[in-house]
Amino acid sequence: MHDPLSLRQHWPEPATRRPIVIFGAGSITRDAHLPAYAKGGYDIAGIYDPDRKKAAELGLPVFASIEDAARVEGAVFDLATPPAAHAGILRALPEGAPALIQKPMGMDLAGATEILTVCRERRLLAAVNFQLRFAPMMIALRDAIAKGWLGEVVDVEMHGVMATPWSLWAFLDGLPRIEITMHSIHYLDSIRMMLGDPLGIHAKTMGHPGHRVAQTRTSAILDYGDRVRCTLSVNHDWDYGRPHQACEMRLAGTEGAAFLQLGVNLNYPKGEVDILQIRPKAGDWMDVPLQGAWFPDAFTGRMHNLQRAAGGEEDLIAPVEDAWKTMALVEASFVSSRQPATPIESPP
């Protein structure tokens, strides 16, 4: 009755593949974008980075300027760049061009609003790379939910206890917003995908006395009223070895449940396998054999959808208009974190 092999796991390929122009030669390009696009059968027309030597090390044609890169006809433009660079590059793209913007969509809601305004003015077919939506385990989970295997989803819990090497991303040094904006934003976006927009959020995010990264630990409750419980607890400072690390999402419905392991975050950047297990309605727990992983397959799926949308084959999933709502949830998290807690009464 419930065949795990029947669940969809991958995004359909486009009928025609456009060449990709990449902006940014950092680790995300090397470790995720390039392997994903190679797996998806895409040609890379070239890359631009202010550090031309670093760009050349990737073995791709290197553009001398943003303007040169933007002149490639019929291309999809992939902005694998820090948030502060997004708006300037988007302004240089041809009107109506398809573009994929690396998350976050700005470092705060004001930055996201600027990017949204530019995309509207240039009429760009633009999406933000919230690629967790396109991971095989997440596509399969959504399919199971759509088929009614869990009934009504009434409980979502994201739990992360990890040791994240923030030093891999030099551009984060000195930034005032880190954990939610750069990491847990994926979980917030995926929760929005499954449950819709919450009424609000209660959050606390903080750093750690062992380093100077602005925030690396977050607890949050998303308010979906009195029917759905939704929580998030993430700690990137569990640097005590693998045995008790975790990066897990649990969902419970009125008739079934699901468990996911997001393996890439365990022993990062080496990572471990993704896991999806489902206990469907009137059934037993089952393993869903995954055909791929969050890295790099989700990046392939994200590009497939953008390319299909550019070719008129389907609608764009999570365009900038929707991504702005995820950024609004991130902003609300930081606002909530600054609010004082409700004081506890002292004995009379």
Secondary structure of residue 128 in the 3-state scheme: strand
- Return the pLDDT at 194: 97
Helix (H) or strand (E) holding 46: strand 44-48
- Give the residue from 111, 150, 136 showing the smallest Cα distance to 324: 111
Instruction: Please report whether residue 337 resides in a domain.
Output: no
pLDDT at 51 over 90: yes
Same domain, yes or no, for 278 and 141?
A: yes
- Return the pLDDT at 269: 80
Residue 117 lies in domain: 14-132+299-318
Query: Token digits for 313?
Result: 């084959």
Instruction: Please report whether residue 151 resides in a domain.
Output: yes
Same domain, yes or no, for 51 and 119?
A: yes
The CATH number of residue 192's host domain is: 3.30.360.10
Same domain, yes or no, for 277 and 156?
A: yes
Same domain, yes or no, for 250 and 200?
A: yes
Same domain, yes or no, for 119 and 143?
A: no
- Return the pLDDT at 169: 81
Same domain, yes or no, for 236 and 276?
A: yes
pLDDT at 45 over 90: yes
Domain count, the chain: 2
309-336: per-residue pLDDT in tens?
999 999 999 999 999 999 999 999 999 9
- Return the pLDDT at 1: 80
Q: Cα(205)–Cα(336) distance, rounded to whole angstroms?
A: 9
How much of the chain, in percent, has pLDDT values that exceed 90? Answer: 95
Instruction: Please report whether residue 309 resides in a domain.
Output: yes
Alpha-carbon separation of residue 235 from 27, 206, 247, 272, 318 (angstroms): 23, 10, 10, 18, 27
176-235: per-residue pLDDT in tens?
999 999 999 999 999 999 999 999 999 999 999 999 999 999 999 999 999 999 999 999
The CATH number of residue 43's host domain is: 3.40.50.720
CA angle at 71 for the pair 12 and 76, rounded to the nearest 5°: 10
Instruction: Please report whether residue 6 resides in a domain.
Output: no
Alpha-carbon separation of residue 96 from 21, 75, 88, 315 (angstroms): 15, 11, 16, 15
- Return the pLDDT at 85: 97
154-177: per-residue pLDDT in tens?
999 999 999 999 888 877 888 999
Same domain, yes or no, for 273 and 161?
A: yes
Helix (H) or strand (E) holding 252: strand 246-253
Same domain, yes or no, for 159 and 282?
A: yes
pLDDT at 267 over 90: no
Same domain, yes or no, for 121 and 250?
A: no
How much of the chain, in percent, has pLDDT values that exceed 70? Answer: 100
Same domain, yes or no, for 75 and 175?
A: no
Same domain, yes or no, for 123 and 169?
A: no
- Return the pLDDT at 330: 98
